[in-house]
Structure 1
Amino acid sequence: MAKRILVVEDNDLNRKLFCDVLKSQGYVVEPVADGHVALQRAREFVPNLIIMDIQLADVSGVELIEQAKRDPILRPIPVLAVTAYAGKGDEDRIRDAGAEGYLAKPVSIGPFMAAVKGLVERTV
């Protein structure tokens, strides 16, 4: 059975790129542009991985990760955080929120897929 990935990304081009690459690798993908509905969509879709943009338009990806990790249904789902604003201490702050993976944008396909596969293979 194909693994399921929720992609939370408000930038149309990045969201399409992530989804296209993941689909080409056989994953079932659910794109989400609005961070406000991300966690509800995650509960409905029940993904094996959540890819979370940190700089969403009107909600912090870090806050969404923290909320997901407090939710008994979403807590076991690994989160791969992606951000264009990688500053000193950001990775620690994002991992402290509960993200199991972290990538700085621009994301290269090789490291992106390695991170995805590493996190998806951990789930059953």
Structure 2
Amino acid sequence: MLTNSNLIITIIIMATTTFFTRLVPFIIFPSNKETPKYILYLGDVLPYSIIGMLIIYCLKNISLLTFPYGMGEIIAILFVIIVHVWKKNTLLSICGGTILYMFLVQTIFI
């Protein structure tokens, strides 16, 4: 168990580290200079790459040979796709899909 002084030191270290990780981009890329092309490229492609990796990670342990045959995941993915195409709202799609998936695996596909 941590003492009060250990907790305070830990919080100070975490706050300082967070502050500096937020400050460094402003030092490396000041507003009076043009942002390098490769940084702009990474800003365009990385979000999609990360989402793709997260999807693969979340689906890697699904067994299509045993009950429930991945039905909860398939239904939730289809729901996310339909809601996103319909409403074009990422937050609504992700939250709705998560809520639906949790409902399915906790009540229907037990």
TM-score of the pair, normalised by structure 1: 0.29
Task: Give 1 or 2 for the bigger CA radius of gyration.
Answer: 2
Bigger relative contact order (CA 8 A; separation at least 6): 1
Question: By percentage of residues, which structure has more helix?
Answer: 2
